[in-house]
A and B are shown apart, each in its own frame.
Chain A
């Protein structure tokens, strides 16, 4: 079936979008949700398993207290109520990624409910209402053998690794998000981004979307403009980057509008997102898949967090990331654009730590967003993964401030730091990078430049100070960059006064 995709402007002119987001956060606990197997990423297949997470007969699960603590902290950070008493439930389905034939989850008694998170999009604040955040366990990982492309369709059989089965997950579910209009794709992206920031600030997950430790399911429906009703939704599963969240919403809006304007009805179904072209395709294979026959888990006792415990955990909450941004922008005197770029580059914490280590905010921003961002980009890693620390950046800037080196030499110091050549001072000594402060050598270089460029020298004598740049450049070249350009300028102007 070919899809009719309606241009975005026309979609928002004729329809009101409703969003709903479900985000799964994989916790960074040491062990799984209900057993003591390691919950780390990347072990050899089926080496992090035990009778409990393999669902062997007689195995008894016990709740990981640390995971409950993380769940409560997430709930509190999302301004949720924390249940005084709640239970786990069995979600029954037959699929080999869960060896028990059910997933232990929570159903009508989530640990956290009725919260909200405010997100900013282009200066406008949207309050995203949180319906619930509940605890559950991750599934195993299947690979499909045979067929054309390793997909489940057409596969001859499948192979399952249960290392991931049982890793604690928190699922955060929004209420329908209405009134976003043409900003729907951006609101969805901003919300997922805000959740990620919150999770990072809480320190409860690796928060790596590329490794699946945060996964988003994007629900979207359209209703005729101004009708106030909710349309039939589609649910696009496992959208695994912020950009993809935005694209998935945009695509589904265009697709739904095409169906509705053509007089058709949107099918309530799950969709798969395709990174290559930003499209979605129909995903659900089984019509009975929604019939999960939840019932309370008889092998686990209820969780009843005392109010004292909840208040203790509330006291451990970090500053809200959005509030923190406003505070830091004020302290640093950044423009909105500078702040947005800093956040966008994932450099906020790095700049904050660099400033804490003594650098001026603008200098800290400059190094992280230009020189170091370029190197991270070249290496294909995140800024935080570079082997340069905020303290080192502050130390380099201190050397620039002291005129021991200039910006150009500082870049070579960063080369040395990335190559593991020691402290900035050691690198400067070993590479001979220090600015030449020997006035005699500098003076001689200036004299040489004047002698070699008589025309320019004459212009400067005639008062055209702007021409000094050419002479300064010649001196810097002569000194192989190891001069303080400001001092060179002073010397040039003195000699030609």
Chain B
């Protein structure tokens, strides 16, 4: 199992918009590798007769009828927003200066 490099962790942190400084990267990269190794041991246990799955319960085709159900009012929807304006969610500038 290949190791996750420090650069890869930095890249992932950037994609996830998590601001990590050098000390944190040094600290976290090895820890993530330990976690990956622990998870990887599953592939040692699962034989060819155990297919990978994305869901713990072997169900398919769980569908909803195309019928409208009441949702939230705009007031309720916006109640948790840090900022709102014109009945819309107000978000900070999307494009940063450097981008």
Contact = CB atoms under 8 A, between A and B. Distances in A.
B67 A288 contact: no
Interface in A37-53: 37-38, 44-51, 53
B88 A288 contact: no
A36 B57 contact: no
Contact of B68 (A31, A96, A153, A161): A31
Nearest to A146: B93
Given A49-B77, A288-B15, A304 B94 contact: no
Nearest to B62: A301
Interface stretch (A9-17, A62-70, A399-407): A62-70
B87 A302 contact: no
Contacts of A162: 77, 89
A48 to B, nearest CB: 7
A50 B72 contact: yes
Given A301-B57, A302-B60, A65 B66 contact: yes
A48 B70 CA distance: 9
B21 interface: no
Given A161-B88, A303-B60, A54 B77 contact: yes
A362 B78 CA distance: 58
B71 A49 contact: yes
Interface string A22-36: 000000011100011
Contact of B63 (A44, A65, A95, A143): A65
B90 A157 contact: yes
24 contacts: A30-B66, A31-B66, A36-B69, A37-B68, A46-B78, A46-B87, A48-B71, A49-B74, A49-B77, A51-B72, A62-B62, A65-B64, A67-B66, A68-B63, A85-B60, A152-B95, A156-B93, A157-B91, A158-B93, A161-B88, A162-B89, A286-B99, A301-B57, A303-B61
A160 interface: yes
Contacts of A157: 90-93
A96 B84 CA distance: 13
Given A36-B68, A44-B74, A285-B99, A96 B89 contact: yes
Interface residues of B, number: 38
B40 to A, nearest CB: 16
A142 B87 CA distance: 12
A138 to B, nearest CB: 16
A297 interface: yes
Interface in B47-91: 54-55, 57, 59-69, 71-74, 77-78, 80, 85-91
B37 interface: no
B14 interface: yes
A152 B92 CA distance: 11
Contact of B71 (A29, A36, A68, A155): A36
Given A288-B15, A302-B60, 10 more contacts: A36-B68, A36-B71, A44-B87, A46-B74, A95-B94, A96-B89, A153-B95, A285-B95, A301-B55, A301-B60
Interface in A440-496: none
A155 B90 CA distance: 12
B63 A159 contact: no
A298 B71 contact: no
Contacts of B94: 95-96, 142, 144, 152, 155, 158
A229 to B, nearest CB: 31
Contact of B72 (A49, A68, A295): A49
A327 interface: no
A293 B13 CA distance: 13
A94 B57 CA distance: 30
Interface in A93-143: 94-96, 99, 142-143
Contacts of B92: 157
A35 B71 contact: yes
A193 interface: no
A247 interface: no
Contact of B91 (A47, A50, A65, A160): A160
A63 B63 contact: yes
B60 A50 contact: no
Contacts of A92: 15
A87 interface: yes
B68 A38 contact: yes
Contacts of A143: 88
A63 B71 contact: no
B46 to A, nearest CB: 16
Contacts of A64: 63-64, 66
